[in-house]
Structure 1
Amino acid sequence: MTIDWTDDRTSVDWHELEALYRAAPLGNKNADDLKVVFGNSMFCCFARDNGRLVGAGRVLADGRDCAYLCDVAVLPSYQGTGLGKQIVDRLLARSQGHTKIILYAVAGREPFYAKFGFLRMKTAMAIFRNRQSAIEKGLLSEN
């Protein structure tokens, strides 16, 4: 496995990225929406193996205070190979200098992110468009 890395958004096939997120699985993210959210992110990285998109991630950041690591996705056939760790390492390196780096993870993936030094926040709260679905998935708690 020889991975080619880039943060160049201009060469991304947004439909290929859409398929990656669906396969990862991180849900159904529309190609047009992915183009917007990656375009508005301060940092991003894309991993390709023989030209095929196999991993991606991004960071929303303000340049000083807060950076938000999100949307780390790896094709299932590449999960467990260290590719996800490399994506997170690259994004964290780019985010250094921010006062805080925040992460929103898929439920059950917390032990993976703890290896990078992430700790649970006691005061984090969120408003989701589909509140009931987020509660059912264990992402939100009403207590």
Structure 2
Amino acid sequence: MSARTGAAPGIDTLQWSDATDAVDWDELSALYRAAPLGDKPPQALRTVFSNSLHRCLVRDAAGRLVGAGRVLGDGVDCACVCDIAVLPSHQGIGLGREIVARLVERSRGHRKILLYAVPGREGFYRQFGFRPMRTAMAIFADEAGAIERGYLAED
């Protein structure tokens, strides 16, 4: 384990980048489907990653995209960790933990760092200091789908 982050062996051999200039957006879209975090079209991913304050793109030794995540932020008050995805073949080795740790560290200095988790995975984020909010509310484009997947409570 890495003393810095507690990452599993092998994490440090991966290629880490914040740059989007060489991203294959179709490959990133496939990663999100495989993770599985849903169908995120390539052009939409180009937009959201380009508009994000911080990005974390991870490639294996062969250059294959195996993990990703991003942070929306204003640089002072609020940052939001979004879209943490790890290819199934690389899950369970600490890669997701390392992506979140790096994004949280880059977001330090904001008054608050937010995220919303896949239902059932909230406990994973406690190790980074995240705590449940009592006042969080959301508007989803697909409200029925968000309720079905457990993101929204029914009134």
Query: TM-score category by the smaller chain?
Result: over 0.9
Deviations 1:95-132 (A, max 9, x none): 00000000111111111111111100000000111111
Stretches of structure 1 that go unaligned for 5 or more consecutive residues are: none
Q: Which runs of 4+ in 1 moved over 6 A?
A: none
**Corresponding residue of 2:29:** 18
Deviations 1:2-57 (A, max 9, x none): 20100010010000000000000000000000000000000001010020100000
Match of 1:38 among 49, 57, 60: 49
CA–CA distance in structure 1, aligned partners of residues 38 and 53 of structure 2: 22
One-letter amino acid matched to 1:99: R
Q: Is 2:145 aligned against 1:133?
A: yes
**Corresponding residue of 2:66:** 54
CA–CA distance in structure 2, aligned partners of residues 16 and 142 of structure 1: 35
Stretches of structure 2 that go unaligned for 5 or more consecutive residues are: 1-9
Please give the TM-score of this superposition, normalised by the length of structure 1.
0.98
CA–CA distance in structure 2, aligned partners of residues 89 and 115 of structure 1: 9
SS in 2 for 1:89: helix
Length, aligned pairs only? 143
CA RMSD of aligned residues (A): 0.8
SS in 1 for 2:65: strand
CA–CA distance in structure 1, aligned partners of residues 64 and 99 of structure 2: 16
Please give the TM-score of this superposition, normalised by the length of structure 2.
0.90
Q: How does 1:2-17 map to 2 (within 5 A)?
A: 2-17=13-28
Question: CA shift at 1:142, angstroms?
Answer: 2.7
Question: CA shift at 1:139, angstroms?
Answer: 0.7
Match of 1:88 among 82, 89, 100: 100
**Corresponding residue of 2:80:** 68
Identity of counterpart residues, as a percentage? 62
CA–CA distance in structure 1, aligned partners of residues 22 and 118 of structure 2: 27
